Amino acid sequence: MKLSKCFHLACYNVFCKTKYSLLMIKGILFIFTIILTTVLVVQGFQSYYNSITQGEASSNAVVINVPLNSNGNMNYTEKELLQKVLEIPQIGTPSYSTIVDVPYSSGNEENAYININRVTLIAGQNTYPGIDDKSFNFTNSNNTTVKFEVKLYLNEGKTINNNDLQEFLYHFPKSKLIVSGTEMQNPKEIMISDYMLSRFGVTDYNALIGKRITFAIDGIPYIKDFLLVGVINEKLYRISTYSLTPHILICGDLSDFAKFKSKSLFAYAPVDDFSNSLTVLQSLRQKNIENLVSYDADLAEQIFFISQLKSIVMYVMLILSIFVILAMSLSLFSVLYNYISSNSKYYAMVRAIGVKRQTIFTILFIELLLLLLVSMLFIVPISGLFLVILNYCLINIIAVGVPITLNQLLEAVFPMFLLFSIGIISISMILLRWNQRKEICIILKQ
């Protein structure tokens, strides 16, 4: 029998068996909507959790403002405080840094900042004058000029810690934070963003890696003979957390802090994971130093609350979904069985006139495809409505919503529906085969 005739017979069967067709559509629709909603709610909570624990990873740190004396040294009190923080097991390797006051340290106190067009990059015999950029848009301010800004890191800590890397990869999962070279670790080493190098007309930054460079302000050397060890991806500065961070990072010892007239530095002690945030907060309170350091206690408690809520919601949704899906699956199985059983005589009749068994399977396959297609037309709007209602309830009850977009809904629907359809069709074919064997046995007995 031709495929077109099989299609016509399938359509005829679907419309003639309206009762069973509607029951099947309802069962498919209900089961799949429950499955989809459960998966998307769990995914939504996980996405919300990741947006904080990974998307704001750099904020998960204990920060200490450490004053420096004229020699660039820390006072004993600040050293002792820092030591107490580092004794907490969940604290990672710290970094020590300060944003250099370039006008003050270069003798240009009358200027609020140094424009890049006053700066020259010198590498060996080559000089690269700074080029201003009126379309500069790394920050949300009205600033439309490139400032010559520098951040100084102490060589006793890390420049880029795991929290920085985690946050960068969350926003740009397919990009590298350091596009060329390595992280600086020793005094007299420097890292620059690829954007800042482009403002000096440098396009092939790989050629400068491993070379000594100097930055001169109005022809006077300011950063002299620093080894360029790495180039930072400018995408880092597109993240709001880092938008105000200078694009030029230099590494030095405490004498360099005195040389650049830095009056203080920030000790940034990252917490290894957000799951440890509440433990770190409790440790700070036990040591009676919570008020002496900067740590986002509200965020730590919020993360703990969301983590517990996520676990509870996942278990509740899982248990409810299992019971509902099990009940509806039995109901759908019953509908499928009755649907096929009601067609037993019809199948026997068409077999009697010479229709092959394979053709009957084809007809049933097309019938199921038609029913699944009709169900699919309702699944997206009904699932979307379920999510909107659920999201509204969650926001008003626990002040946490499920950030699911239409694209995420559509991306989840099609692969899940494909697997679901394969399951429905496979079960139906097994039932049809079993039903036909049962009919043959009955005929033989008679």
410 residue type, one letter: L
Report which of 382, 311, 391 is spatially closest to residue 41, judged by C-alpha positions: 391
Asked if 100 and 26 sit in the same domain, the reply is no
Q: Looking at the domain assignment, is residue 69 inside a domain? A: yes
DSSP 36: H
pTM: 0.70
Q: Looking at the domain assignment, is residue 284 inside a domain? A: no
Q: Looking at the domain assignment, is residue 289 inside a domain? A: no
Q: Looking at the domain assignment, is residue 280 inside a domain? A: no
Q: State how many domains the chain has.
A: 2
Asked if 100 and 34 sit in the same domain, the reply is no
Asked if 225 and 327 sit in the same domain, the reply is no
Residue with tokens 């809520």: 309
Q: Residues in the chain, how many? A: 446
Axis crossing angle, helix 18-53 with helix 406-445, rounded to the nearest 10: 140
Q: Looking at the domain assignment, is residue 279 inside a domain? A: no
Asked if 8 and 156 sit in the same domain, the reply is no
Predicted confidence at residue 444, as pLDDT, reads: 46
Asked if 314 and 253 sit in the same domain, the reply is no
**Which two tokens mark 309?**
């809520």
Asked if 41 and 65 sit in the same domain, the reply is no
Predicted confidence at residue 445, as pLDDT, reads: 53
Of the three residues 272, 290, 323, the one that is the final residue of a domain is 272
Q: How far apart are CA 265 and CA 274, in angstroms?
A: 25
Predicted confidence at residue 386, as pLDDT, reads: 72
Report which of 254, 283, 299, 270 is spatially closest to residue 64, judged by C-alpha positions: 270
State mean pLDDT over 298-308.
75
Q: How far apart are CA 251 and CA 239, in angstroms?
A: 23
Burial label, 124 (beta-carbon count in 10 A; 0-12, 13-18, 19+):
exposed
* Segment 342-401, tens digit of pLDDT: 666 666 666 666 667 677 777 777 777 787 777 777 777 777 777 777 777 766 665 555
Q: Taking CA 102 as the corner, what is the angle to CA 100 and CA 106, rounded to the nearest 5 degrees?
A: 125
Q: How far apart are CA 329 and CA 291, in angstroms?
A: 57
State mean pLDDT over 283-289.
90
Mean pLDDT across the chain: 80
Q: Please, are residues 390 and 36 in contact by the beta-carbon 8 Å criterion? A: no
**When comparing pLDDT for 332 and 152, which is higher?**
152
Please give the residue range of the domain that contains residue 218: 61-75+91-272
DSSP 91: B
